[in-house]
Amino acid sequence: MADRTQSKAVEGHAVAPVFSGSASSAVSVAEAAHATLIIERGRSAGKKFPLTEEESQIGRWDADGGIFPEIDLDADDPEAKVSRRHARITKRGGDYFVEDLGSTNGTFINRGRRLLPGDRHPLRDGDEIIVGKTFLRFHVIR
């Protein structure tokens, strides 16, 4: 089976691919990933985004605006409720944090209050992250 990936690169900026090909192709990204985000609802439910960097932006791809998030929800957000620069997940040592980047429709953790832009909120394995109308589940890979 041919290896198919969804990966975009512009001017040397590559994002972690989401694999739809063979299982052996996905192994290399899975081995490099320290955490994953999984879409929980809608037509893209089950889609996984491996987190391989210390910092990962969540948003929508915009080549004209020069916005290339690692977690690109453009194809998974038909109503455009996710901002182009919506949120960021950072890893510091063994700790994870999420912060809203001034999004229009907000970022919510475990259906709690809306995060204030720039405030880092701790993330734990199994937490639900809502960006716009997209429901994501955060998992740490041990």
pTM score = 0.79
- Residue count of the chain: 142
* pLDDT score recorded for residue 18: 47
Residue type for position 69: P
Put residue 87 in one of left, alpha, beta given phi > 0 → left and psi -120 to 50 → alpha. beta
The pLDDT value recorded for residue 89 is 98
User: How open is the CA angle 32-70-100, to the nearest 5 degrees?
Assistant: 120
Q: What is the largest CA-CA distance in the chain?
A: 46
Per-residue model confidence (pLDDT) at position 6: 43
Q: Which of 52, 46, 60, 41 is nearest to 89 (CA)?
A: 52
For residue 23, the surrounding DSSP H or E stretch is helix 23-32
What fold is seen in the domain 35-140? Tumour Suppressor Smad4 (2.60.200)
- Copy the structure tokens of residue 31: 């081995």
Distance CA 89, CA 124 (A): 12
- Alpha carbons within 13 angstroms on the beta-carbon side of residue 135 total 10
In the chain, where the domains are located: 35-140
Tens digit of each residue's pLDDT, the chain (142 residues): 433 344 443 343 344 444 444 454 555 666 789 999 999 998 999 999 999 999 999 999 999 999 999 999 999 999 999 999 999 999 999 999 999 999 999 999 999 999 999 999 999 999 999 999 999 999 999 7
What pLDDT score does 142 carry? Answer: 77
